[in-house]
A and B are shown apart, each in its own frame.
Chain A
Amino acid sequence: MEFNEPAGENVFDHSKVVGRPTPRVDGPLKVSGRAPYAYERHDVAEGQLVGYPVVSTIAQGRITNMETEAALNAPGVVAIVTTLETGEMPIPSDMNVAPLFGGAEVAHYHQAIGVVVADTLEQARAAAALIKVDYDVTKGSYDLEAAWQEKREDRSDPVSRVGDFEAAFEAAEVTLDQEYRTPSQSHAMMEPHASIAAWKDGKLTVWTSNQMIEWTRQALATTLEMDPEDVRIDSPFIGGGFGSKLFLRADSVLAALGARKAGRPVKVMLPRPMVMNNTTHRASTIQRIRIGAQQDGKITAIAHEAISHTFPGGDGENAISQTQKFYAGENRLIVKHLAEMHLPEANAMRAPGEAAGLMALEIAMDEMAEKLGMDPAEFRAINDTQVDPEDPDKPFSERHFVECLNRGSEAFGWGDRNATPGQRRDGNWLIGHGMAGAYRGSPAQDSGARVRLQPDGRLIVETDMTDIGTGSYTIIAQTAAETMGLPLDMVEVRLGDSDFPVSAGSGGQWGAASSTAGTYAACLALRSEIAKKIGVNDTDSLTFKNAGVRTGEKQMTLASIASEGEIVAEYTMEFSDSRDEEIVSTFAAHFVEVGVHVATGEIRLRRMLAACDAGRILNPITARSQVIGGMVMGVGAAMMEDLAIDEGRGFFVTHDLANYEVPVHMDIPDQEVIFLDTLDPQSSPLKAKGVGELGLCGVAAAVANAVYNATGVRVRDYPVTLDKYLDQLPAV
């Protein structure tokens, strides 16, 4: 089935299930500890051994020798696989650049170079520590500032240029020219990467924790040079991903190699420091933003130039992307630089590009509004655009950003703030208010599902879609229930198995809109099968309701129709290029109140609010959960998260959750979320878009702007920690 024109009226416009606040259908499994997470799947394969990764302790160079004898003789050790014995292995996919395993070359710190397989974790870990590795070390450079100084004036290969930015900026009545810095960040999802691998008759099954089942099946086959048909991936429950589990990671490869050598199933988990240095992260950036405007607030010139580090051949952090589309302005310049470094691979982390880009852009907008003497929400509204500012012939499908600004302002009481910084005080606390806009694209991916109507009338939905804590189980069940006229508890959703039809997977906030579309497509196919079964030609003449179907005067239960055996239908929703004739995006406005301790500079958030324009809200409970979770992540980005680089040795120093701080409960006060519930027929049959990444976008800048409003000190270097402004606070 192809989605090749805007959705017309359909079942979801008269919904009884979709759009209703529905608690997670998998909630009871999770709170009772019965949801099977990868590392604890003791029942899937008998005789599991434990593999412990051996990782490189240099950032770049060559392994000259690995001494494994002591480890092999250690108690409980069954097998050891080293990177020298396997030799170089293919890069897993064209979305990755760093090798996961194999060969003597070391390309980054904590690259996997071996796995020790033993009876117990303790034995494997102790034995792994006995392996001695000799290296020829290559000295690398890890200095982003130096790279930026070199490339800062190079505009020879811009991402885009519209009009004459330089002339317009020169002529502008009010201008801003500032640099902003964002650090590297770790996804810091709760569940680390973990896999169990088992071989049988040359076929490999991997029970893992992964967002994109089919990508990973293909990548594992590529890496191990196997036929993808001989690889099965199963990942029904995922303890958070945020992009960290989009791709095949070393845990799966090590488990597979370890299991092959040991001749028994092997499980491997990456300890937290390896999550930081072995897997991927969001790259650090330096961003220069220039904005020129007329006195009335209209932007006439805008330039965003950014550099980020990247593993050689990679794409770094695309911090400029939102600036291409978000605000109006006739003259525009977008430049992206990459600084190649042998750090671990920089790759997608929740809202890749926008999250870091808006951290900068939305401070710049705040600064500009202040220069213009304007309310920052109003300044943004004035520069709203309903068309692509780079290509005015291309409209946004649905864009209600100004409504987000208005609704948010009103609900937050934005008008009551004091626009002059440093004026409000509550005892020892300087009180500040800040806001920011948010923009995040809402792509869609083809998504398939299989639906199986059971003789008892229950419906089973199978798709390799994943639920990374987002609520996929629930919204897919809702979609199927709605389409088939079933109560929710008669639908069972099965996810994350590569034996199921290929879905969109979870990434780029495309999961919800795409996978529900795929489920809908499969349900429509099932409706046709049912029509056939009962001898009706025109499926549209059927009404599916109350677990039954009606045609004319005739009414039958679905159970009776399937009584002779299950009825199965499988279908894929394909999104055609026509969807891209308009820009499908999501928007939000964030408002934040902070207190900054006048003496110590400690920041305490007081309240925060988001107003979101993100298509049909399929389930207000799970959608809200996504947005408030994103807001928490934004608070972390604003106030503490810093994957600090040791520039001498080329690795992330803050590599555990004691040093890489994320917000705790006490950091998060009242959170309020408003959904506009704007339908977007251009986006999907359900007129839905994504919310998972939107919730993060812009939040950090709103916090930074609030700190400025509280203190009068502008920090342009994240995280906004007290060391950066302490000496500019009032004397005590």
Chain B
Amino acid sequence: MRPFSYERAGDAAQAAARAAEVEGAKFIAGGTNLLDLMKLEIETPVHLIDVNGLGLDEISATDDGGLRIGALVSNTDLAAHETVRRDYGVLSRALVAGASGQLRNKATTAGNLLQRTRCPYFYDTAQPCNKREPGSGCGALSEGAFSRQLGVIGTSDSCIATHPSDMAVAMRALDVTVETITPVGMTRQIPLADFHKLPGDTPEQENALMPGEIITAVTLPAPVGGTHAYHKVRDRSSYAFALVSVALIRQPDGTGRVALGGVAPKPWRSDEADAELPNGARAVMARLLDGARPTEENAFKITLAERTLAAMLAEE
């Protein structure tokens, strides 16, 4: 870990302004991801701006019947919130499928969206990684590499990493919007669909935030009803990232929404695939995973996604 300085921001706008002003500054929320990465010198901020205590930890109703979740609401509190459990079950389930109780107590909503990939080559600074060190090459795509956990779609020749969040997958199914304040004090609303970027040639650019921009909240639209389910498949029963996860919201008439985790650099969903839901899992996945480019080791994720969705559809 490199030495760094530290400050507590007074309010969100000031935090954003400071973050843009000090080169190499970063926000710290729960610290569950950032600190680990700092110890390994994968992240090397020179200045930390603590965003705890900005009053961003409230959950409140919105005028159009939805919920506004403060950026600092912990994963535990969000999962346990009565309205979330009642009206946004997929979100509550995805949250408790993630990490461990201790971690969820510290992990925040914004931090969760911004957590970085778990690609093992990203984590070993002795290995090439375009995301960590642009232009150094992709360790996971080199000959003899181990790529079982990595992405199958939305990836590029530069990077095949996945976004590891469970929460974000459910949020994608719910069509949430990310609320921010820019360094010049402007408020922005970014649909989650546009929030995470695909790697292309620049896997180091992971989201739509501009330098210094701070997340203040995530808003859930009014409840969409239907039956909510989240199935996370992994090699052990708990405390592991998804091989594949499926968030499903299904209406009584058979229509609905499907989002996938563990397969792509962002939560993976498309309107075209959703439209196939009445026709079954195969039809959905044929659309959703069209154009997938798996490695030999992770091609099973395509079969797995389809079978998992099929089981979820059969369950009702």
Residues in A lying within 8 Å of B, measured CB to CB = 57, 75, 122, 125-126, 129, 142-143, 273, 428, 597-602, 604, 639-640, 644-649, 653-656, 658-659, 661, 663-667, 719, 721-723, 726-727, 729, 732
Contacts and interface: CB of A to CB of B under 8 A. Distances in A.
6 contacts: A57-B126, A428-B315, A654-B120, A655-B124, A722-B243, A726-B307
Nearest to B128: A649
B104 to A, nearest CB: 15
A604 B234 CA distance: 11
A85 to B, nearest CB: 22
B310 A599 contact: yes
Secondary structure dominating the interface of B = loop
Q: Give the interface centre of A142, A648, A665, A729 by most chain B CB atoms within 10 Å.
A: A648
B127 to A, nearest CB: 7
B300 A722 contact: yes
Contacts of B239: 664
B144 A726 contact: no
Given A125-B1, A597-B311, A666 B300 contact: no
Contacts of A663: 236
Contacts of A428: 311, 315
A658 B118 contact: yes
Q: Give the interface centre of B118, B124, B303 by most chain A CB atoms within 10 Å.
A: B124
Contacts of A57: 126
A148 B120 CA distance: 28
B144 A647 contact: yes
Interface in B108-131: 118, 120-121, 123-127
A661 B120 contact: no
A461 to B, nearest CB: 39
Nearest to A657: B239
A3 to B, nearest CB: 44
The 9 closest A-B pairs by CB, nearest first: A648-B144, A599-B311, A647-B144, A57-B126, A666-B237, A723-B300, A732-B310, A653-B146, A644-B146
Interface in B6-62: 39, 41
Interface string B233-246: 11111111101000
B32 to A, nearest CB: 12
B3 A126 contact: yes
A667 to B, nearest CB: 5
Contacts of B243: 722-723
B5 interface: no
Nearest to B231: A600
Given A126-B2, A654-B120, A646 B144 contact: yes
Q: Give the interface centre of B118, B235, B311, B314 by most chain A CB atoms within 10 Å.
A: B235
A602 B124 CA distance: 29
Contacts of B123: 656
Contacts of B118: 658-659
Given A600-B231, A723-B300, A726-B303, A659 B120 contact: yes
B235 A640 contact: yes
B148 interface: yes
A726 B120 contact: no
Given A600-B311, A646-B139, 19 more contacts: A126-B1, A126-B3, A600-B307, A601-B307, A602-B234, A639-B236, A646-B144, A647-B144, A653-B120, A653-B146, A658-B118, A664-B236, A719-B235, A723-B148, A723-B304, A726-B304, A729-B307, A732-B307, A732-B311
B316 interface: no
A122 B40 CA distance: 11
B145 interface: yes
A126 B3 CA distance: 8
B304 A722 contact: yes
A604 B237 CA distance: 8
A658 B124 CA distance: 13
Contact of A667 (B39, B237, B300, B314): B237
Contacts of B143: 647-648
Interface in B221-253: 231, 233-241, 243
Contacts of A653: 120-121, 124, 145-146
Contacts of A142: 144
B202 interface: no
Contacts of A727: 300, 303
B260 interface: no
B235 A646 contact: no
Contacts of A598: 311
A667 B308 contact: no
B102 interface: no
B145 A646 contact: yes
B63 to A, nearest CB: 41
Contacts of B238: 664-667
Nearest to B118: A658
Contact of A655 (B2, B3, B120, B308): B120
Nearest to B142: A648
A649 B121 CA distance: 12
Contacts of A601: 304, 307
Contacts of B1: 122, 125-126
Contact of A661 (B236, B303, B314): B236
